[in-house]
Chains A and B, each alone.
Chain A
């Protein structure tokens, strides 16, 4: 239904968009994207309470094509198709089972129609741009949530219609989002401006029958933009208030043996502070973010949930599936407070060195301040062959048995990825 709705919306808009322009203008296509092949070996996290439910010592391989086709006529973009064709296979699993899952996902399929140079209409499946946060967007009630523990996860759009009025001083966007259930569909608006020197501000609001209302503020400031050497330093804030929780609370479910989830209702808030800087010449980029969710669980609540999941008591197994599903809905959002630090070095040197210019590094750590568990990712990226890269990655989850990241099904994962751009 979701896909059918998106396809229907896009087909209608393409027809409309194509008809809106003179037929004598040539239609042009542009294809871009990448082909990835990846092999991953993961060790089982024996301290995870999930171990009895989802043992995770395996070797897997994956191939994917992530492509974008933009088709345009003269200066008006007519549309975009963003897709991911993927074939993931488990080659060796500790249970002996192997499985291959091919998939094709349409991430975005939309068309644009411009009315003069002020009003822009976009119709179809699309990612609605929202928020300054890199790992979490407290102000975004619409898009599928970012999963900062899955860096390669492609973010799927939502079927929507958006009208945008862009002026040099202030911009206004109004949009409607359509889901399978009418009560989940919603409407929203965003007002944004960069008129204040060095500052980007936006105010947004959203309402749907199922999610109640959300109001949000985004502010991004470059406080030392005038000072060379410090001009890449930026700070940002993103905060949202909502009339209802995004996730079902574990208020009742945290009691071992009970499967009843808590109520959604009641005012909730979440916010994120971030900062970034790029070192001149060396080009090292550092990003750090802190975020807080009022609806996150406290350390004792998390402990109760994981204790229940690890329990062998009758009745708990039946409840476990619902709890696991609920935990999966909130990657890096189970607790109340998180800290994220990322460091990226695009290449060791930028001086024409035939080796060091081709080797880069990136690493990040996400720490749950609620239970002091952490999720660390690091990768060395080489680009010795034109239009391609080879990446060696390592993921390491750490924490106690009753903590969020301490319960990651895989303890340590190593991967090699070959990426070809086109």
Chain B
């Protein structure tokens, strides 16, 4: 009996060795580095979104956002009817400010306050390790690029997708593709980075294309540009009261 126990314990210790180890050390630290290549922890940037549908119609909107880790304020600047619309994410809490009335109400991660293929979470999901538990799966070639592949599992139920797969370009540490799965582990949508401009080891401009896996003709093209690192961003900017005050956001472009 003692021998059986010893074998079981030894086998249990050997299990992690059986899983593929990450060649660049700590996967979590690597994911943080990938995030900061895409967007610095404290930064501001502009965003343009074009939703394209199978019917051939397009819908465009523009805005800017300020990020402090998992706190983000996204403010619409176009179309004109949506000017002043704002989306606030403070960790796991979401608020939206109506464009016309300035009234601020709570909203959710899964809702799509601006419409189109992008949920509120899509517009504000920038810190992978805070939202997901990451696990290295292995190496894979994607679009001719040597990539690391990671599996991300949502840490809480509020997040829209329980499982996400991420492919990262080994050479630039830029994400190449992200696939979002339902609870049934069926792919719901994915995005690919279609273009990126690097500056000082980080992205200055990125273009991504979100594709509805169930209806591939429906797509959202997101362009992040004017990405500007900020030295400090005060926490109180990400409060309901600040949004309610109707002030222009301090880091407006």
Kindly identify, within residues 152 to 173 of chain B, every residue whose CB is under 8 Å from any CB belonging to chain A: 156-158, 160
Q: Does A87 contact B (CB under 8 A)?
A: no
B-contact bits for A150-164, CB 8 A (1 contact / 0 none): 000000000000001
Task: Report yes or no: B79 in contact with A421, Cβ–Cβ below 8 A.
Answer: yes
Q: Are B108 and A166 in contact (CB under 8 A)?
A: no
B110 adjacent to A228 (CB under 8 Å): yes
Contact status B239-A194, CB under 8 Å: yes
Known: A280-B110, A351-B218. A231 touches B248 (CB 8 A): no
* B240 within 8 A of partner (CB): yes
Instruction: Report the separation of the CA atoms of residues A353 and B112 in the bound assembly, to the nearest whole angstrom.
Output: 17
Give the contacts of B103-138 with A (CB-CB under 8 A): 103, 105-112, 115-116
B111: which of A72, A164, A278, A354 is its contact (CB, 8 Å)?
Answer: A278
Per the bound structure, the CA–CA distance linking A127 and B102 in Å amounts to: 11
CA distance A346 to B82 in the complex (A): 13
For the complex, is B25 an interface residue (Cβ under 8 Å from A)?
Answer: no
Q: Which residues of B contact A77 (CB under 8 A)?
A: 247-248
Q: Within 8 Å of chain B (Cβ to Cβ): is A46?
A: no
* A168 interface hit (Cβ, 8 Å): yes
A166-B239 contact, Cβ under 8 Å, with A112-B247, A352-B54, A354-B55: yes
Cβ–Cβ contact A129 & B236, under 8 A: no
On whether the beta carbons of B57 and A352 are closer than 8 Å, the reply is: yes
A228 touches B236 (CB 8 A): no
Quick one: which of A233-255 are within 8 Å of B by CB? 234
A106 to B56, CA, bound (A): 43
| Contacting residues, chain A, for B115 (C-beta < 8 A) | 346, 350
Do B245 and A75 touch (CB < 8 A)? Answer: no
The interface size of chain A toward B, counting residues with CB under 8 Å, comes to 55
Please give the distance in Å from B241's CB to the nearest CB on chain A.
4
Q: Does B235 contact A (CB under 8 A)?
A: yes
Q: How far is the CA of A80 from the CA of B59 in the complex (A)?
A: 30
**Contacts known (A352-B218, A421-B80); A166 close to B110, Cβ less than 8 A:** no
B244 touches A194 (CB 8 A): no
| Total interface residues in chain B, CB < 8 Å | 48
Q: How far is the CA of A251 from the CA of B141 in the complex (A)?
A: 83
> A231-B109, A352-B54 in contact; A225/B247 too (CB < 8 A)?
no
| B110 near A387: Cβ-Cβ < 8 Å | no
What residue of chain B has the Cβ atom nearest to residue A232's Cβ? Answer: B108
In the assembled complex, the CB of B253 is this many whole angstroms from the nearest CB of chain A, namely 10
> Which residue on A lies nearest to B247, using beta carbons?
A77
| A134 to chain B: closest residue by CB | B103
* Complex contact B57–A354 (CB within 8 A): yes
| Cross-chain pairs A/B with CB under 8 angstroms, 22 sampled | A30-B248, A32-B83, A32-B84, A117-B234, A117-B236, A129-B244, A134-B103, A166-B236, A166-B239, A171-B236, A171-B239, A194-B93, A228-B108, A231-B111, A231-B158, A232-B108, A276-B105, A352-B53, A352-B55, A353-B55, A353-B57, A387-B80
Q: A225-B106, A231-B111 are in contact. List 13 more A-B contacts (CB 8 A).
A: A72-B252, A75-B252, A118-B234, A166-B242, A192-B241, A226-B156, A232-B107, A280-B111, A350-B112, A351-B53, A352-B52, A387-B80, A421-B83
